[in-house]
Structure 1
Amino acid sequence: SSSSSSGSSMQGSSGCNALAHRDGGGNKGVTSTAELTEGFGLHDNSTRVVMLSSLTHHAGILNWDDMQSQRKYDPFTSYALSKLANTITAVELHRRFEKASEPPGGCAWGNDSAVSAHPGIVNTSLATNYFKTQGLAQAIPALAPFVNSFVDGLGAAAMRSTRNSADVLLYAALAPAQQVGGRYVVDGRVGKPAAEALDSSRAAELWSTATQLTGLEIHPSLR
């Protein structure tokens, strides 16, 4: 799935996926979340990592035997899995930020934080093309023209504009860490993520799987 970055007045703000981020030119260079977070917690400047989630993460299933959907690929299933992984990663990364900031004999709130955010169902080609090619349009091709017209009207009336959806991501990037750190942001407020996103054992397994798939090690300060 695609990733998004939000600029902010903080020293650093990064948007990424659970496993990797391909550069805009489509080059082979891939930067993993582990690389992006290396050194976080080792400086005095505030850093915010925003993981782009989705409401569909509630339908995500962690298929440990086929995390890359190589055996069987379904667009919605893979998308939901990627968004669940992003949400889990944000919760776990924030937990590790906090742990890394704990001084001997006490606990202090760290400068670095991680947040996941659902920008809403946005009126982009990603959403409209999905609705136009799945469901009835896929099962009964003759209905495609009617489905296309309906989706076009629905997009204009019910979906968020890209500008409005950006507001959610700006809130996730700029709100105080005490308010959104380790949380799931939806509609400009803190929402409730899937229970699996809060399962620390699932998070540990996901991080272990990520290191195996990317061949990268987590920075010692975040282990």
Structure 2
Amino acid sequence: MSERITTPFGADSTAAEVVSGIDLGGRRAVVTGGSSGIGVETARALAGAGAEVTLAVRDTAAGQRVAGEIGGDVRVARLDLADQASVAAFVAGWDGPLHLLVNNAGVMATPETRTPEGWELQFATNHLGHFALTTGLHRYLAAEGARVVQVSSSAHHRSGVVFDDIHFERRPYEPWSAYGQSKSANVLFAIEATRRWAADGITANALMPGGIMTNLQRHVTEEEMTRLRAQVGATDFKWKTPEQGAATSVLLATSPLLEGVGGRYFEDCDEALPGIGDPRHGVAAHALDPEAATRLWAVTEETLAP
């Protein structure tokens, strides 16, 4: 077993603290969902360290407002992860090397919704969209080696990838199981991408940002949040600020401590320990299963094949 990665930072660290002293001049970054929540603070930290940052967002007007507020070399491009044509258009519009890809955007606990292809929306957005984006950009990521950052969640404990019925065609739809499955897929992607692309110098890691009140919760009532916290014994739950929530993403994208490190899952700026009996912390064994990672990649390629 490889040695666990720990850093001088923790749950209260901010993205700005994590990137302090790191020069990203000449580096190019893409942050999906960069116009709200922790995406804004991730982009702000990367741009503040000198990177050229592209906000890949559904709402380009909101993206332009954020870009103007952040300052620096921040660009905006349209990307709807639930729409494969939109993903293809973003890839077609990219040119030149890409050093940092932060797959940050996502939807959570949505009512049962299907894409025109019949795919369950959370899996389609959180996994399939990011898979198509990242693999589509592979040649640019491989130009100089790159880091891919997968924003997952402790909700991955709720479900592994149910290969026999990924899109809830034969089982009752349950929003949190669907979300958990998509977040497990985010971790499994990091494992398999690191394995497949090692020769290109590309590494991918996944993370739990912590609990942050953002637009991600727009489908969840306060009563539902209270019920969920009680369910997992989180009566002492402490919310992070968006600046703290972005810290682990920025750490994985920039820290020298992560040079050459891939296929791992982090929380609170450290590599997570195995999650045993506490669904709020650690990483579930099903999310680190290399066989499941390889199988998911194959299933995803088959799903997205023209």
State the TM-score bracket (shorter-chain normalisation).
0.5 to 0.7
Q: CA deviation at 1:70?
A: 4.1
> SS of 2:100's equivalent?
strand
Structure 2 Cα separation of the partners of residues 137 and 90 of structure 1:
31
Answer 1 or 2: which has greater helix percent: 1
1:57 paired residue number: 156
User: Measured at CA, do residues 125 and 97 of structure 1 come closer, stay the same or move farther in structure 2, by a change above 3 Å?
Assistant: same
Give CA deviations for 1:13-55 in whole Å, capped at 9, x if unaligned. Answer: 113343114xxxxxxxx953321324543x2x23111111111
Structure 1 residues 10-159: aligned runs within 5 Å:
12-16=99-103, 17-21=126-130, 31-38=132-139, 40-41=141-142, 43=143, 45-71=144-170, 72-98=172-198, 100-101=199-200, 110=201, 112-127=202-217, 130=220, 132-134=222-224, 158-159=238-239
> SS of 1:201's equivalent?
helix
Give CA deviations for 1:82-104 in whole Å, capped at 9, x if unaligned. Answer: 00000010111112222x35xxx
2:65 paired residue number: none
Percent identity of paired positions between Structure 1 and Structure 2: 28
2:287 paired residue number: 197
User: Measured at CA, do residues 3 and 37 of structure 1 come closer, stay the same or move farther in structure 2, by a change above 3 Å?
Assistant: farther
TM-score, length of structure 2 as denominator length: 0.51
The count of aligned residue pairs is 180
Instruction: List alignment gaps of at least 5 residues for structure 1.
Output: 22-29, 102-109, 139-146, 148-153, 217-223
> SS of 1:19's equivalent?
helix
**8 Å contact from structure 2 (residues 100, 146) kept in 1:** yes
What letter is aligned with 2:192? Answer: E
User: Measured at CA, do residues 133 and 210 of structure 1 come closer, stay the same or move farther in structure 2, by a change above 3 Å?
Assistant: farther
Structure 2 Cα separation of the partners of residues 39 and 179 of structure 1:
18
1:142 paired residue number: none
1:175 paired residue number: 255
Structure 2 Cα separation of the partners of residues 67 and 78 of structure 1:
8
**Which shifted more, 54-63 or 68-77?**
68-77
**8 Å contact from structure 1 (residues 32, 214) kept in 2:** no
**Which shifted more, 181-190 or 70-79?**
70-79
Structure 1 Cα separation of the partners of residues 186 and 149 of structure 2:
9
Structure 2 Cα separation of the partners of residues 74 and 58 of structure 1:
14
What letter is aligned with 1:196? Answer: H
> SS of 1:66's equivalent?
coil
The structure that has the greater radius of gyration is: 1
Structure 2 Cα separation of the partners of residues 137 and 18 of structure 1:
27
> SS of 2:220's equivalent?
helix
1:107 paired residue number: none
